[in-house]
């Protein structure tokens, strides 16, 4: 199939362990670095990958790896603030076990209907990520000039919540379905932008490559 590809890479393991982490700017662990390197090496070997540009969230757990990867590959790097994770307000830094069960259950059942205290509203989070995505798609030359359908394979390094929103936009999912999408650390999602326009399609949603 023709068209241009966009690969979405979630950051790897982060210092501080699992928790609600949006604006909290923890760095990757050494394992996290290895997970991301392994994920891209495995993707290139199995699916093929000749990236032309790297785009990333401003968070350290994304940006530090993106800077290294882009430098080694001699690729342009763009840091996009709209690809940052959601701010979880007073839940920042908390493990799920530290949150009242009724609140956590309401959050998972319908993120549109329940926002953590002082958090970025879910509706605002989805809108900013979706707006950034469709701006990227509309600016892609494949949508405007199919005769120049060469190169420009993007790699976007971002967060689990952002990737769920992007999949929701591409697949037309309701808000209540987004948290059913598993996006583990260092997993990769591949999207195709079709030649001549039309809606993007999901090519693959790959688990992280085994890494120790």
Contact 116, 90 (CB under 8 A): yes
**211 in any annotated domain:** no
What phi, psi does 94 have (nearest 5°)? -90, 140
Please give the pLDDT value at position 64.
Answer: 98
Contact 201, 170 (CB under 8 A): yes
Please give the pLDDT value at position 149.
Answer: 42
The boundaries of the domain holding residue 32 are 4-206
**67 in any annotated domain:** yes
Number of domains forming the structure of the chain? 1
Contact 160, 182 (CB under 8 A): no
Nearest alpha carbon to residue 5 among 140, 181, 162: 140
**166 in any annotated domain:** yes
CATH number, position 25: 3.40.50.1240
pLDDT tens-place values along the chain, 212 residues long: 567 899 999 999 999 999 999 999 999 999 999 999 999 999 988 877 789 999 999 999 999 999 999 999 999 999 999 999 999 999 999 999 999 999 999 999 999 999 999 999 999 999 999 999 988 888 765 444 443 444 589 999 999 999 999 999 999 999 999 999 999 999 999 999 987 777 899 999 988 888 76
Q: What distance in Å separates the CA atoms of residue 168 and residue 165, rounded to the nearest whole number?
A: 5
Nearest alpha carbon to residue 88 among 167, 6, 189, 161: 161
Q: What distance in Å separates the CA atoms of residue 164 and residue 178, rounded to the nearest whole number?
A: 6
What phi, psi does 2 have (nearest 5°)? -95, 165
Q: What distance in Å separates the CA atoms of residue 153 and residue 164, rounded to the nearest whole number?
A: 21
DSSP state of 49: -
Sequence-distant (6+) residues with CB within 8 A of 74 are none
Q: Is the full-model pTM beyond 0.85?
A: yes
- 146: number of CA atoms within 13 Å, CB side? 8
Contact 169, 149 (CB under 8 A): no
**161 in any annotated domain:** yes
Please give the pLDDT value at position 139.
Answer: 72
**96 in any annotated domain:** yes
**118 in any annotated domain:** yes
Query: What's the distance, CA 139 to chain centroid?
Result: 19
């Amino acid at each position: 199939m023709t068209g241009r590809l966009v690969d979405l890479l979630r950051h790897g393991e982060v210092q501080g362990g699992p928790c609600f982490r949006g604006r909290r700017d923890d760095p990757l662990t050494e394992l996290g670095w290895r997970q991301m390197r392994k994920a891209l090496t495995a993707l290139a070997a199995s699916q093929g990958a000749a990236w032309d540009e790297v785009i990333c969230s401003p968070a350290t757990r994304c940006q530090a790896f993106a800077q290294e990867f882009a430098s080694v590959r001699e690729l342009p790097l763009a840091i996009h603030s709209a690809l940052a994770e959601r701010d979880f307000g007073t839940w920042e830094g908390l493990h799920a076990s530290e949150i009242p069960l009724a609140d956590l259950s309401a959050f998972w059942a319908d993120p549109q209907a329940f926002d953590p205290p002082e958090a970025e509203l879910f509706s605002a989070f989805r809108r900013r990520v979706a707006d950034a995505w469709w701006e990227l798609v509309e600016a892609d030359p494949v949508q405007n000039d199919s005769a120049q359908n060469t190169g420009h394979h993007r790699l976007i390094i971002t967060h689990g919540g952002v990737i769920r929103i992007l999949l929701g936009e591409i697949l037309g999912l309701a808000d209540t379905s987004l948290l059913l999408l598993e996006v583990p650390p260092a997993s990769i999602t591949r999207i195709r932008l079709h030649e001549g326009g039309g809606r993007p399609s999901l090519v693959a949603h790959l688990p992280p490559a085994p890494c120790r």
